[in-house]
Amino acid sequence: MTTVDSVSVVGAGDMGHGFAAHFTRMGKDVTLIDHRQSNLDEAAANVLDVVEFLNREGLADLDPEAVVEEIAFTLDRAAGVADADLVLETVTEDLAVKHEVFSGIADAAPDDAVLASNTSGIPVTDIAEAVPEAAERVAGCHWWFPPYLLPTVEVVRGAETSDETFDRLAAFVESVDRDPILVEKDVPGFVWNRLQLAVFREALHLLEREVASADDINRAIRDGWAIRSAAIGPFETMDIAGLDLVSTVAEELNPHLCDDDEPSPLFEANLSAGRGGIHDGAGFFDYDEDPSEIVRHRDETVAAIRRALED
C-alpha cells in the first residue's frame, strides 16, 4: 500500500490551519491552499499560535517559525495538489461548493491521490457524484475540532470508495498519531455527530420542559457523564452496569426520550434575541470574556485531560 507523504489541504480556515500545523509536525510535506491571500496570511499566524500553544502545554517541542516555513501556502489550487498523495478538502459545508472543489482537484491531482473531505455530515457518496470517474478515490476524513488535540478521526466509506482508498486513508490517520474510527456505512452525520446531536436534542428537551436549568444540565454532562466517558465508552458502561439492568431501564425510559424531527424552538428564540453564541456575548449563557479566551480555556482544559489520560 502506497504511503501518504505529501498532503494538500484545501481551505485555510480553522480546520485548515490546524491540519497544516499538525501534519507538518508529524513530518508530512504540507501545502495549504485557499482562494484569498488574507486567509493564507491569517492561517500562517494561526499555525504559529497552535505550535506555541502545544509547546506551552508540553505536547510538542518545536520552533513555531520553522513549522510555518515548512508549509507551502498557495492560491493556485491546481499547482497546489499536483504532487499530492492526499488532498483533504475542508471548505464550507455546502454541497455545491464541495462539488466545485472536487471537480478541480480530481483533474489536477495525481491519478492515484486519495481525495478526502473533512465534511461533518454531508454524505461522502453525494460529494463523490461530482467526480464519477474518480469516485473510488473519494472518502470522508472527518476530524474533530481542534484537530491538533483530539485523538480520533472518522474515516468514512462512500458507496464507491475502494478498499485501497479506505485502507490507505486509515493508515495515513495512524501515521499522524491519530486513531481512525472506521465508518463503514455512509449515514448522515457519521458516528460522532449522530451521538453528539442526540445528546444536544435531549438536553434541549429537558430545558424546554423546565426539568432543570441550562447550568445544571450542562454540569451534569460536563462534570459527570463526560468525565466517566473519558475513561469508558457507552458499550463498556453497559457491560459494567449489566445488560439486564440497562435493558430494563431502557424499556421504561425510551418512550419518554425526545424524538423530535425539528430543531428545538430554543434555537430560534435565542437567535431572535441576538444570542447566537460566544461571538454575540450570549447564547444559552452570558459571556464577558473575549471569544478567543473562551476557546483558549477550552483547549487548555482538553490538553490537560489528554495529558492525564496519557499519563
Average pLDDT over residues 47-76: 96
Q: What is the pLDDT of residue 75?
A: 98
- Taking the C-alpha atoms of residue 263 and residue 217, their distance in angstroms, rounded to an integer, is 18
Q: What is the pLDDT of residue 154?
A: 98
Q: Which of 84-88, 266-270, 303-307 has the lowest mean pLDDT?
A: 303-307
C-alpha cell recorded at residue 121: 455530515
Q: Residue 283 burial by CB count (10 A; 0-12/13-18/19+): exposed, middle or buried?
A: middle
Please check the confidence at residue 129 and state whether its pLDDT lies above 80: yes
What pLDDT digit, counting tens, does each position of 284-293 carry? Answer: 999 999 999 9
pLDDT range class, residue 119, cuts 50, 70, 90? very high
Average pLDDT over residues 33-58: 96
Which residues, other chains included, contact 125 with Cβ-Cβ below 8 Å and sequence gap of 6+? 158, 159, 160, 186
Q: What is the 3-state secondary structure (H, E, C) of 229-265?
A: HCCCCHHHHHHHHCHHHHHHHHHHHHHHCCCCCCCCH
Which residues, other chains included, contact 120 with Cβ-Cβ below 8 Å and sequence gap of 6+? 93, 142, 189, 190, 192, 193
Average pLDDT over residues 111-140: 97
Please check the confidence at residue 311 and state whether its pLDDT lies above 80: no
In the chain, ranges of CATH 3.40.50.720 domains? 6-183
Could you tell me if 86 and 44 are in contact, meaning their C-beta atoms sit under 8 angstroms apart? no
What's the whole-number average pLDDT of the chain?
Answer: 96
pLDDT range class, residue 215, cuts 50, 70, 90? very high
Average pLDDT over residues 121-127: 95
Average pLDDT over residues 162-172: 98
Q: Which helix (H) or strand (E) holds 126?
A: helix 124-128
Which residues, other chains included, contact 72 with Cβ-Cβ below 8 Å and sequence gap of 6+? 29, 30, 31, 32, 80
Q: What is the pLDDT of residue 224?
A: 95
Q: Does pTM surpass 0.85?
A: yes
Give the closest residue to 83 by CA, choosing from 136, 31, 10.
31
Q: Are strands 6-10 and 29-33 parallel, antiparallel or unpaired?
A: parallel
In the chain, ranges of CATH 1.10.1040.10 domains? 192-310
Quickly name the fold that domain 6-183 has.
Rossmann fold (3.40.50)
Please check the confidence at residue 1 and state whether its pLDDT lies above 80: no
What pLDDT digit, counting tens, does each position of 136-161 carry? Answer: 999 999 999 999 999 999 999 999 99
Average pLDDT over residues 275-283: 97
Give the closest residue to 137 by CA, choosing from 119, 124, 151.
124
Using the Cα atoms of residue 156, residue 81, residue 168 and residue 115 in order, give the sign of their dihedral: positive
Q: What is the pLDDT of residue 190?
A: 96
Q: 192-310, superfamily in CATH? A: N-(1-d-carboxylethyl)-l-norvaline Dehydrogenase; domain 2 (1.10.1040.10)
Could you tell me if 114 and 85 are in contact, meaning their C-beta atoms sit under 8 angstroms apart? yes
Task: Identify any residues that bridge with 9 across adjacent strands, giving them in sequence order.
Answer: 32, 88
Could you tell me if 90 and 11 are in contact, meaning their C-beta atoms sit under 8 angstroms apart? yes
- Taking the C-alpha atoms of residue 135 and residue 158, their distance in angstroms, rounded to an integer, is 8
Q: What is the pLDDT of residue 289?
A: 93
pLDDT range class, residue 189, cuts 50, 70, 90? very high
